[in-house]
Amino acid sequence: MTTKSINHPWGVSDKFRTRYGNTWADLDFVFEAKISAENFSDDPMNTTIGELHIAGQRILMRYKDLIAYAKLYNTLSDNLYAEKLSKDTTMEISIKGRNFMLNKQEIGKLSTTLDDAVKTAIKGYQLGLYI
């Protein structure tokens, strides 16, 4: 268990795990244990900020990766909800060369997870917490 987690997947109830599935329930972004304040202030875009946990895989993310994927999947999620696709419809997505088949709810959670991670990272820096 880590406190530097965005979604705290260990706290997802069995009810939600059953309803949305393990991929949705376990999706998370975990920040690095220690991010150098100097590195983040000198070259924030190339600072390794943490890792995305998705479908049993862990993908190391730099700050610029986090921002780019947050924008990409926010747009995709908005479009999927606007199209009113069935919740069972899956779509192939790619993150840093790894492909995943996700449904609408999983893409929505991916979008909010990445967006929350971007906001948390910048707030941590502004407050001097350096996550």
95-110 residue pLDDT tens: 999 999 999 999 999 9
Which percentage of the chain shows pLDDT scores above 70? Answer: 86
Neighbours of 52 (CB within 10 A): 24
What is the model's pLDDT at position 53?
97
pLDDT attached to residue 81: 79
| Average pLDDT, rounded, for the chain | 87
Nearest to 60 by CA among 68, 70, 52: 52
pTM for the whole structure: 0.86
Through-space distance between the first and last CA atoms of the chain, rounded to whole angstroms = 16
Domain limits, the chain:
9-126
Check: CB of residue 125 under 8 Å from CB of residue 40. Answer: yes
